Chains A and B, each alone.
Chain A
Amino acid sequence: QQQVKQSPQSLIVQKGGISIINCAYENTAFDYFPWYQQFPGKGPALLIAIRPDVSEKKEGRFTISFNKSAKQFSLHIMDSQPGDSATYFCAASMDSGYSTLTFGKGTMLLVSP
């Protein structure tokens, strides 16, 4: 049973546009929601993470929006650049992040020049 559903599976955005990736979770015990970026042949790297006590967190061009009642969270990449082309994974964890991570299936983002 997939506990974190991620969409879309792939996304093409023009340079300078906004990339939006959505995730929904089922387990209300989740209390830590990170986003990871992965380039081909490399390990994932943490982009940004959020906890349920805030509805939005911004770091540079990356913003997480969190809707606790809807059990949804999303990643917004502002001013998308070709270098942002990668696979993005949302994840969720319990115990303030100290339990194991459950990953979404990933979104392949392509930013066209």
Chain B
Amino acid sequence: GAVVSQHPSWVICKSGTSVKIECRSLDFQATTMFWYRQFPKQSLMLMATSNEGSKATYEQGVEKDKFLINHASLTLSTLTVTSAHPEDSSFYICSARDPTSGKPDTQYFGPGTRLTVL
């Protein structure tokens, strides 16, 4: 149980285009999902907390208009990188909690999406 998937697993795009990354909880409903960014050989940096049916809460320094987050259902959150530039190239990872599991405090992570902006 508590499986989180991401799609796509990797994407290459041209500078100036927008890219959408999907995060799904496959076998549970997640009222809260989290989006992280990870540069090579670095730690995970929280970008935003995504709440179903409401606006996302962004961490300090994260551009809301550049990283659009939508949590339209209890099993799907999307991250759209708008007008992507090479410096946005990174590994994007989502996570979710399963409130009905025996470990409601545990964050289950997706497999990540590698974004390369040319």
Contact = CB atoms under 8 A, between A and B. Distances in A.
Given A89-B43, A89-B44, A106-B42, A101 B111 contact: no
A43 B111 contact: yes
Nearest to B114: A41
A101 B107 contact: yes
A25 interface: no
A35 to B, nearest CB: 12
B28 interface: no
Nearest to B108: A46
Interface of A, helix, strand, loop or mixed by DSSP: mixed
Interface stretch (A11-19, A60-68, A91-99): A91-99
Contacts of A98: 97, 104-105
Q: How large is the interface on B (under 10, 10 to 19, 20 to 34, 35 or more residues)?
A: 20 to 34
Contacts of B91: 41
Interface in A61-113: 89, 93, 96-98, 100-101, 103-106, 108
B67 interface: no
Nearest to A4: B43
A44 to B, nearest CB: 5
Contacts of A34: 106-107
A50 B40 CA distance: 28
Given A41-B91, A98-B104, 15 more contacts: A42-B112, A43-B4, A43-B6, A43-B109, A44-B109, A45-B109, A46-B106, A89-B43, A89-B44, A98-B105, A101-B34, A103-B44, A104-B43, A106-B41, A108-B41
Interface of B: 4, 6, 34, 41-44, 46, 49, 91, 93, 95, 97, 104-112, 114
18 contacts: A34-B106, A34-B107, A41-B91, A42-B112, A43-B4, A43-B6, A43-B93, A45-B109, A49-B105, A97-B104, A98-B97, A98-B105, A100-B46, A101-B107, A106-B41, A106-B42, A106-B43, A108-B41
